Structure 1
Amino acid sequence: MSNLETAPEELVCSSAPADDRPSGLVLESRDVPLGGPRAMRVRRTLPQRTRSLIGAWCFVDHYGPEDVSVTGGMRVPGHPHVGLRTVSWLFGGEIEHRDTTGTHAFVRPGELNLMTAGSGIAHSEYSTPETSVLHGVQLWLALPEAHRFTAPGFEHYAPPAFEHEGARVLVFLGALCGASSPVHTFSPLLGAEITLPADRTLRLDVDPTFEHGVLVDTGAVTAAGADATVGQLVYQAPGTRGLALRAGAEGARVLVLGGRPLEERIVMWWNFVGRTHEEILAYREQWQAERAGGSGADSARFGTFPVHWEETLPAPEPPAARLKPRG
């Protein structure tokens, strides 16, 4: 998925917290329109000024349930990415994916679709005509320095659902509750969906070197001692071997995202993750040249556009000012 903001903020991100706040910090989301006059809106909890990263997780958009007859659904033409991986995870509906590696795939509920941008990729995402309600998340992972220019690619994995102490669990990245995902990660990570019955308490054994985020999809939960509801994300700092979840009276569904602190500073702007302001501007210019049919030494960064694409997204105007590192 693209970041469709017409004037995206340039962010210099660090895994270090903005202050000395303890675990159990509730991060509020902000509404962002996903393009178009009837734009589907997403709730964005990462990045923000109080917390830029959770492990390598650097971008969290949560959307739906959306009536696509009202919003028009997801309609994201071809657009670029560099230096990151996108994680698509649905709770309802279906999305058609095409990219410049030649992949044509469908994103369905409970199935991981992971696209590695690495040195550069472009893709499109459209909700299918059969979709009446669209509901899911789009997540980004920053690639660490040693792997950020890895070859682009696409992976699919359908994790088996299992019961753990009365909760339904799907582990799509990393390991939790004795289950593990076979999907390769470039830094230590965790990604899991957990559905809790009403008033159920669940204590998870977690890696104490990880920081964690609990994104509430439905219901209300108490996570790491903090109360949260739909669209909020609870952050827990490293240093504990347990993560406690308790569902409210209606039950709850959450995503648990975790990872070892990246300990690298990254610059995010539009759909790019780099290390310097100059890199980001170079990616932008390369994309603009390729979508215009230009040529040059870097003109093949984003690959061959699928014949099905009728349009691609132009990059926003470059940032007017340079941001200084924070944190």
Structure 2
Amino acid sequence: MSNVDPDPDEVDCRASRFTGVLPARDVPLGGPRAMSVRRTLPARQRSMIGAWCFADHYGPHDVRDRAGMDVPPHPHTGLQTVSWLFAGEIEHRDSNGVHAMVRPGELNLMTAGAGICHSEVSTPAAAVLHGVQLWVALPDADRHTARDFAHHVPQIARADGATLRVFLGELAGSRSPVHTFTPLLGAQVDVDPYTAAALDVDPAFEHGLLLDDGDVEFGGTVLQRGDLAYQSPGCQRLEIVNRGPAPARMVLLGGPPFGEALLMWWNFVGRTHDEIAEYRDRWQAGDDRFGSVTGYTGAVPRLPAPALPNARLKPRGR
């Protein structure tokens, strides 16, 4: 997914001391009549959880008689995109020649590396769109790697009153075979009604729990829909309490604190202002660094980059 903010901030991503709950903020995608997303990462309080550096949560959006998702070809660098749906269907095309569908319960992971571009369009089969779009920052040693794509359907597992779909990393004995460049955890967790589920986790990881639906308490705090609760490293067990009469659904993210400073602007992850400015110039010039998408038939053939700020932005205070 593209960050279609017409005036995106340049985010200096470093470790921070924030512990608590990140409330979501609404971000429109494609104007007032199009769908909107709830964004929690990056935030002023915390920009990353492990290598997870971007989190959009959207839906459920009934798109039978209104605009769905139609994101024209747009670029990425220095990251992996993680698409995970609860409902709907999205068509993915990228400049590595991949044409794939994103469907509920199936992981699509795209590695941008040195540069890629892709489009995302909801299909006529999607009456409702509902899911998350996540980005993972690549470490400096791997951020210029080749473009790649992985598809994985995790098996459903049970653990202490919860149903798990582990799409990245390992949790409660379930392991994903999908390659990541830093240790990561990504899983859909559905907790049974009126149940306190305790999940053993890696104490070297920091964790984020994104609530999709349900009456949930985590770390002594009742979460609102779209909230991203943060747990610092050192915790060996996470307790998630579903206080309601229906199953509660959330996405659990984790990883060791990312030890490198990086900059995010629009759809680029880099290390310096000059580097990101170069990425923008190359995208605007149609440089081969990003390639091209074939088969996209939207009204706009490619998404233009926003204007860079007139001055170098100072790192945000933590």
Category of TM-score, reference length = shorter chain: over 0.9
**How well do the aligned residues superpose, as a CA RMSD in angstroms?**
1.2
Q: Provide the residue aligned with 1:316 in structure 2.
A: 306
Matching of residue 278 in structure 1 with residue 274 in structure 2: yes
1:198-213 mapped onto 2 (5 Å cutoff): 198-213=193-208
User: What SS does the corresponding residue of 2:274 show, helix, strand or coil?
Assistant: helix
Distance 2:68 2:171 in 1: 33
171-180 or 69-78, larger mean C-alpha shift:
69-78
SS in 2 for 1:159: coil
1:223–1:246 CA contact under 8 A, matched in 2: yes
Partners of 2:260 and 2:296 in 1: CA distance: 38
Question: Which SS does the other structure have where 2:243 is aligned?
Answer: strand
Contact 1:204–1:244 under 8 Å retained in 2: yes
- Rounded Cα–Cα distance in structure 1 between residues aligned with 2:215 and 2:37: 19
Map 1:114-263; keep pairs closer than 5 Å. 114-250=109-245, 251-263=247-259
Structure 1 equivalent of residue 2 of structure 2: 2
Corresponding residue of 1:294? none
* Overall identity of the aligned pairs, in %: 58
Answering whether residue 28 of structure 2 is matched by residue 33 of structure 1, we say yes
- Confirm whether residue 306 of structure 1 aligns to residue 294 of structure 2: yes
Letter in 1 for 2:278: A
Query: Shift of the alpha carbon at 1:166?
Result: 2.5
For residues 83 and 180 of structure 1, the distance between their equivalents in structure 2, rounded to whole angstroms, comes to: 25
Residues 275/92 of structure 1: CA separation in 2 closer, same or farther (3 Å cut):
same
Residue by residue over 1:269-315, the C-alpha shift from the partner in whole angstroms, topping out at 9 and shown as x without a partner, is 0000000000111000000000xxxxxxxx21002331445511000
Question: Bigger shift: 105-114 or 244-253?
Answer: 244-253
Paired residue for 1:94? 89
CA distance in 2, matches of 1:89, 1:102: 21
Residue 253 of structure 2 aligns to which amino acid in structure 1?
A: L
Q: Per-residue deviation at 1:324? A: 2.1
Shift of 1:71: 4.0
Q: Which residue of 1 aligns with 2:108?
A: 113
- Residues 49-99 of structure 1: per-residue CA shift (max 9 Å, x gap): 100000000000000000113541101010000011000000000000000
- Whole-Å separation in 1 of the counterparts to 2:214 and 2:294: 40
Q: Could you list the structure 1 runs, at least 4 aligned residues long, displaced by more than 6 angstroms after superposition.
A: none
Counterpart-to-counterpart distance in 2, 1:110 and 1:156: 11
For normalisation by structure 1, the TM-score amounts to 0.93
Contact 1:91/1:109, CA 8 A, preserved across alignment: yes
Letter in 1 for 2:38: R
Deviations 1:110-165 (A, max 9, x none): 00000000100000000001111100000000001110111011100000111212
For residue 77 of structure 1, the aligned residue among 72, 75, 80 is 72
Matched to 1:276, the amino acid is: T
SS, match of residue 139 in structure 1: strand
Amino acid at match of 1:314: P
Cα distance in 2 between the residues matched to 1:165 and 1:13? 35
Unmatched runs of 5 consecutive residues or more in structure 2: none
Check whether the contact 1:78–1:309 (CA below 8 A) recurs between aligned residues: no
- TM-score normalized by the length of structure 2: 0.96
User: Which deviates further from its counterpart, 34-43 or 173-182?
Assistant: 34-43
Which stretch of the first structure deviates more once superposed, 96-105 or 65-74?
65-74
Which shows bigger deviation, 142-151 or 317-326? 317-326
Equivalent residue pairs, number: 314
Separation in 2 of the partners of 1:218 and 1:108?
Answer: 19
The amino acid that maps onto 1:312 is: R
